[in-house]
Amino acid sequence: MTSLTFDRHCDEIVNQTERLTGHVRGANMSAPVLACPGWDLGRLLRHVGGEHRWAEEIVRTRAGGPIPDDLVNDLSGYTREDEAFLIPWLIEGAARLSAALRAAGPDALAWNPSEERSAPVEFWARRMTHETVVHRADAARAAGAEFVLEADLAVDAVEEWLEYSTFPEAFEPGPDLPDLLGPGRMLHFDATDAGEWMVDLTGERPVWRTGADQATATACGPVADLLLYFYQRPEPAIVTQGDTALLDLWRIRAGFWLEAPGE
């Protein structure tokens, strides 16, 4: 359950996009994005704007199933990108998505990739907020700008990730997947400025909760850095202790849904 309201997510889709464009004004659009191999800054911005437009169509049409996502990941043709076009295009796409979400309301039903059937569109408000946040961090790093994130927004994004870590795809055995679950496997995540979480891997499926307890492995640091650590962005501020191989396995398994190369 999200810790932020639907309206806050709708606001943040626009706010985070505007802050992203602030990072990249005057930047080199061909600068590499280290977290997204093969992408430059221009392609990253195309990806974010494409996601907003893809989600907007799903929400606006109350799509009952997947729609083509070429705008999101088919970036091969985008070279020599122009900041003068991309920045207003990004802001327009975020505004359109936010407006479509507000017009629908949080309980309207539409397809999303985490459900077998239509589900409330509040999913898209939260998901697109945090998608924009993480890629804002990528853009800031590529442009040499400072990335700062409010703690309550980072906490909500961390807890979204923790929720995904309980999906069957994140823990079920597979022929090429090491076992994640097992006796004594407890993870502790300590956000030094925002709170603590435990992930219990000892049962039939992962369970997460707030608080602290004895753990097999711990990751500790500011909550915004902890969020980027989950997304496998390099974060030297995060200190890990104990079974770090288990932490890495959990991050990989919990990120099963990051199928696109730039996620």
CATH number of the domain encompassing residue 50: 1.20.120.450
* pLDDT tens digits for range 19-45: 999 999 999 999 999 998 889 999 999
Residue 122 lies in a domain: yes
pLDDT of residue 258: 80
Helices (H) and strands (E) in the chain, counts: 8, 7
* pLDDT tens digits for range 128-158: 999 999 999 999 999 999 999 999 999 999 9
Domain count, the chain: 2
Residues 113 and 29 in one domain: yes
Find out whether 19 and 63 touch, Cβ atoms under 8 Å: no
Residues 12 and 116 in one domain: yes
Q: Can you give the residue range of the structural domain that contains 106?
A: 6-148
pLDDT of residue 76: 73
Residue 154 lies in a domain: no
Residue 31 lies in a domain: yes
Residues 32 and 93 in one domain: yes
Residue 156 lies in a domain: no
pLDDT of residue 30: 93
The position carrying tokens 């626009």 is: 14
Residues 41 and 140 in one domain: yes
The Cα 110–Cα 63 span in angstroms is 5
Residues 189 and 92 in one domain: no
Residue 39 lies in a domain: yes
Low-confidence ranges of the chain (pLDDT < 70): 1-2, 77, 116, 259-263
Residues 27 and 139 in one domain: yes
Residues 92 and 207 in one domain: no
Q: What is the CATH number of the domain that holds 184?
A: 3.30.1050.10
Nearest Cα neighbor of 73 from 96, 42, 51 is 51
The Cα 205–Cα 45 span in angstroms is 36
Question: Residues with Cβ < 8 Å from 123, sequence gap 6 or more?
Answer: 112, 114, 115
Report which residue type is found at 225. D
Classify strands 239-242 and 217-221 as parallel, antiparallel or unpaired: antiparallel
Residue 259 lies in a domain: no
Residues 117 and 237 in one domain: no
Q: 148, 165, 195 — which closes off a domain?
A: 148
